[in-house]
Structure 1
Amino acid sequence: MEMDRILCDELLEEVLRRLPPHSVFSPSTAAVSLVSKRWLRLYRSSKSGLEIKLSPDVCTPPSLSSFLSQFPHLSFLYIGIYTTVLGGGCGNVMSAFPDQILLSVASSCTKLTTLTLHDAPLSLSPLLSLSNSCPHLTSLDIYLSTPVSFHWLRFCRSLQDLSVSFTSVPGESKHVDDNALEGDAELKLEALNMYRIQPGDYGFDWLWRSCKNLKKLQLARCYGIGEDVSVSSIVNCFNGLQEVELRRCGVVVHEILLKVLENCTSLNSLLITNRVSGDGLLQFITHSRCNLQKLSLRLPLDLDNNHLLAVADKFRGLLSLRLGRCCLITGEGLRTMALTMTNELQELALRHCKVEPGLLTILGGRFRNLRKLDLSHNVMLVDNEFISMLASCNCLRELRVRGCKGLTNASVVSMFKSCKQLERVDIMECPGIDAEAVELFVLNCAGLRRINVEVDKVSDVSRSWASKKLVEVLDWF
């Protein structure tokens, strides 16, 4: 208590701000709030980020506003909403609750730069209040019901990153009133993430026309791009686009790839998962005018050796190649690719892929500059193959072998002997690796900063050394 009296508020706030994050080896920083009312006040004042989960039957807007006002320096806020009250005649209460929450945030958190409000759709009025009250907001992640209107984005003058998940409201008109949206705007948005746009959805044309500065476009489970969207509108987004991610978007993938092929030369990163036309993908690869640096594909039935060889021939300077569940690709295809490409590759992922005997030795010898390697869930991977590859991969900083059931303690020893620069390792779900090997690894891997491993494989010695070396030990990915 004598120390408590000596420390002024400003100095104690700085101490609380510098406390390490929660881990399995140290209590949560929130525990310091139990010392006294003063520490609780200063703890809240020192926090720049907050995550909370709310429900209408336990929280009211006045109580939320009062609570948030105790965190005057919040820049990051995540709010999740329990939606289980939708049944039993509570629909009206639930539909108003997200709007009331956002109004409380707008009135209490004027310094926000990042806001996530999940699991319930918002209406227009609170979004306008948010844009006026939080002028520094740069990142926003929300739910909206269709049809949508985006004219409130005109007033979000600092917004650069927008993520929207869409949900349909039964009985709503398909059309949206565009009277307020006459004339294009030039939004500052650089990253746009759209989730669940459905065929027949309206209200997107103005958004596409106004996104003239996009650098990153993400579409997830989008089976349309807006019923009211013209070709010229969506093409407007592709000038200067650098990253495209298409996750489980069905036939929309082919349409987007075609437009990118015709209108974009700046793309350097492409991610596609689930399904795509094999011919359409091959056309994009062989005729692309882009200089791709990163390529990530999870296409079980649409990617074969021909695509891989086309990638190697067209994008020889690729820095990152991530493949997942590509069951039609063979070891021969991967070998030929490796011999065709330069040795500049820095990241390689072969998750759930066929790792045939001898392949990893060739890949390791060819790609000696690898910084990240992910061989997760290759159940046929064995020590000899893995150790042979590591002997050539001296630059590795991140290594993941989750679910590789054929690896044993010998592989762990090879990790710290061959890869002196390792910082992050994932060895979850590897039954052949035991607590003794984990302890040996933590003791000998000088640069280790994070290890993913089951808690029951963490001995007292491992726990002590990890704490001293500030190593995070996690049992999740």
Structure 2
Amino acid sequence: MDIILCDELLQEIFHRLPSPSASAVSLVSKRWLHLLRSSLSSLSLRLSPNHHHHPSLSTFISHHTFLTSLSITSSTTTNSDHLLFTIATTCRNLILLHLSTGPVSISPLLSLSTSCPQLSSLSIILSRHNLNLHFLPYFLFLKALALTVTGNASPGFNSDQFTTTSAQLQLQSLSVSGIQHGDYALNYLWRNCSYETVTKLVFENCDGVGDNYSFNCLIKGLNNLQELEFRTCRSIIGSILRKLAENRCEKLFSLLIHDGGNKDGLLHFIRETNCNLQKLDFRLPLDLGDTHLFEIGVKFNRLRVLKLQSCCMVTNEGLKTLGLALSDSLEELSLTNCDVVKRQNGLLVELAQSLRKLKILDLSYNRMLLDKEFVSMISSYTDLRKLKLRGCSKLTDVSLISLCKNCKHLESVDVAYCPGIQVEGVEFIILNSPELRNVQVEDRKLSEVARRWMTNKFIEVHP
């Protein structure tokens, strides 16, 4: 067979194989290994902590000449210039590059812009010591940029604030991480982003935005902004939310705030904005309360997705009022590690009676959730498609039996790290859920019968 099949036919077969089979294909022969590598269009690598970009990594990358998507991450921060040069000379078809091994220098980035002219998504780490963004215009088709700034600044590093060079960057998605008050080199980015094209803006671990005037000019013009995310940005989030409320960004439909909010700024934004949010994702243990929930119910009555994680200050009254307000629209609800679920017995049952249109439910890490409440609740969710119960340590097989009886359209279930759920319960749900396609559970809880059934029904399993 190895002789009969031509290279093109083998590569087409490789494309159609499920991903777990790739490791077996690579062991057949050197020819198959070469063809497999050359046929891959997407590759994701995670480097070990003691890896220091040995030549073997560059050699490995050089074998994958047809990659359009490449992601390399590492838990250690090292210079990645040599690796980036290898990528630039080898992977000329790249459209997406995520390089989280930085920092990188300007020279290999310029080489990358020439060698990979179709690159549209770039994620890199730059050193604050030599922060310079004038390479960006050379990526002619760049639509998504994720920029992380690391290291300490040196004297004179703010000189970029005096430059007047201009370029029209057609970015649609912009993510910045690690920005501080003195990072005036970011002004080049704020001044040159096209106001009309930016639809997604992400801030992570930011204590500042560089020069406030340049940044405010950008914020005032973001009329087409659709998605906004803040992660650990307590010092800047209040002012940005207030400016966006004044800007009347009517197209904004998704807001995420994790680990550091501003009570007053968030409340002002909810009350004053003209946008019609459809997705809210909050992880705010001390910055989200019932007042926010009441206002959300009044203002965003078409909300489709609500995610609350570790929100300790909300009460059952706030959630029940919000559930009633969103009864006709909410399709996805996440109450992850929420203290109110533990404090208030029966809350989930009352919510279920209001939110009968839910298709996705995440109750992960609610360790005091009992079978009795779950069974009473799940009978209202007859159209549920995805359910996450990861880390719910009090639940047993009784809950899974009730789940199967009530949710006939279940496609995905996560019951990992639930010690009360046994092999029999997992087997029962796999055999009695006709539309099930994805299961997340420990490997030791899969019986031989369950494994055979999953193979026949093409059900994927993840830990």
On whether the aligned pair clears a TM of 0.5, the verdict is yes
Match of 1:452 among 429, 440, 457: 440
**8 A Cα contact 1:187 1:210, kept in partner:** yes
Q: In the alignment, is residue 389 of structure 1 matched against residue 381 of structure 2? A: no
**8 A Cα contact 2:187 2:215, kept in partner:** no
Q: In the alignment, is residue 78 of structure 1 matched against residue 61 of structure 2? A: no
Aligned residue for 1:214, secondary structure, equals coil
2:351 aligned partner = 363
Q: In the alignment, is residue 414 of structure 1 matched against residue 409 of structure 2? A: no
For residues 276 and 29 of structure 1, what CA distance do their matches in structure 2 show?
A: 44
1:83 is displaced (CA, Å) by 4.2
Amino acid at match of 1:138: S
1:259-338 matches, within 5 Å, as 259-263=243-247, 264-338=249-323
Q: In the alignment, is residue 191 of structure 1 matched against residue 179 of structure 2? A: no
For residues 57 and 325 of structure 2, what CA distance do their matches in structure 1 show?
A: 59
For residues 180 and 381 of structure 1, what CA distance do their matches in structure 2 show?
A: 58
Residue deviations 1:154-190 (CA, integer Å, cap 9, x gap)? 121221111111102453532144677512x322211
For residues 450 and 22 of structure 2, what CA distance do their matches in structure 1 show?
A: 22
* Change over 3 Å in CA distance of 1:252–1:414 after alignment to 2: same
For residues 233 and 137 of structure 1, what CA distance do their matches in structure 2 show?
A: 28
For residues 387 and 102 of structure 2, what CA distance do their matches in structure 1 show?
A: 38
1:250-261 matches, within 5 Å, as 250-261=234-245
1:44 aligned partner = 37
Gaps of 5+ in 1: 23-27, 85-93
For residues 231 and 158 of structure 1, what CA distance do their matches in structure 2 show?
A: 23
Match of 1:116 among 75, 95, 98: 98
**8 A Cα contact 1:268 1:290, kept in partner:** yes
Match of 1:347 among 326, 332, 357: 332
1:379 aligned partner = 367
**8 A Cα contact 2:410 2:433, kept in partner:** yes
For residues 425 and 74 of structure 2, what CA distance do their matches in structure 1 show?
A: 43
Residue deviations 1:92-136 (CA, integer Å, cap 9, x gap)? xx54xx112111111111100111111320111111111111111
2:54 aligned partner = 59
* Change over 3 Å in CA distance of 1:103–1:220 after alignment to 2: same
Residue deviations 1:222-259 (CA, integer Å, cap 9, x gap)? 11111475354332562211000001101211011112
1:89 aligned partner = none
* Change over 3 Å in CA distance of 1:271–1:423 after alignment to 2: same
RMSD between superposed Cα atoms in Å: 2.1
Q: In the alignment, is residue 150 of structure 1 matched against residue 133 of structure 2? A: yes
For residues 372 and 128 of structure 1, what CA distance do their matches in structure 2 show?
A: 44
Match of 2:386 among 398, 401, 406: 398
For residues 435 and 56 of structure 1, what CA distance do their matches in structure 2 show?
A: 39
TM-score, length of structure 2 as denominator length: 0.93
For residues 207 and 414 of structure 2, what CA distance do their matches in structure 1 show?
A: 35
Match of 2:19 among 18, 21, 39: 21
Match of 1:173 among 114, 139, 156: 156
1:331 is displaced (CA, Å) by 1.0
For residues 119 and 43 of structure 2, what CA distance do their matches in structure 1 show?
A: 15
* Change over 3 Å in CA distance of 1:81–1:134 after alignment to 2: same
Aligned positions, number: 454
For residues 412 and 229 of structure 1, what CA distance do their matches in structure 2 show?
A: 56
TM-score, length of structure 1 as denominator length: 0.90
For residues 178 and 133 of structure 1, what CA distance do their matches in structure 2 show?
A: 30
Amino acid at match of 2:54: C
1:405 is displaced (CA, Å) by 1.7
Stretch moving more, 451-460 or 314-323: 451-460
For residues 162 and 449 of structure 2, what CA distance do their matches in structure 1 show?
A: 68
For residues 155 and 404 of structure 2, what CA distance do their matches in structure 1 show?
A: 60
1:19 is displaced (CA, Å) by 1.1
Gaps of 5+ in 2: none
Aligned residue for 1:379, secondary structure, equals coil
Percent identical? 45
* Change over 3 Å in CA distance of 1:36–1:340 after alignment to 2: closer
For residues 52 and 314 of structure 2, what CA distance do their matches in structure 1 show?
A: 53
**8 A Cα contact 2:436 2:459, kept in partner:** yes
Aligned residue for 1:402, secondary structure, equals coil
Stretch moving more, 150-159 or 229-238: 229-238
For residues 258 and 324 of structure 1, what CA distance do their matches in structure 2 show?
A: 24
Aligned residue for 2:101, secondary structure, equals strand
1:197 is displaced (CA, Å) by 0.8
1:243 aligned partner = 227
**8 A Cα contact 2:147 2:175, kept in partner:** yes
1:414 is displaced (CA, Å) by 1.6
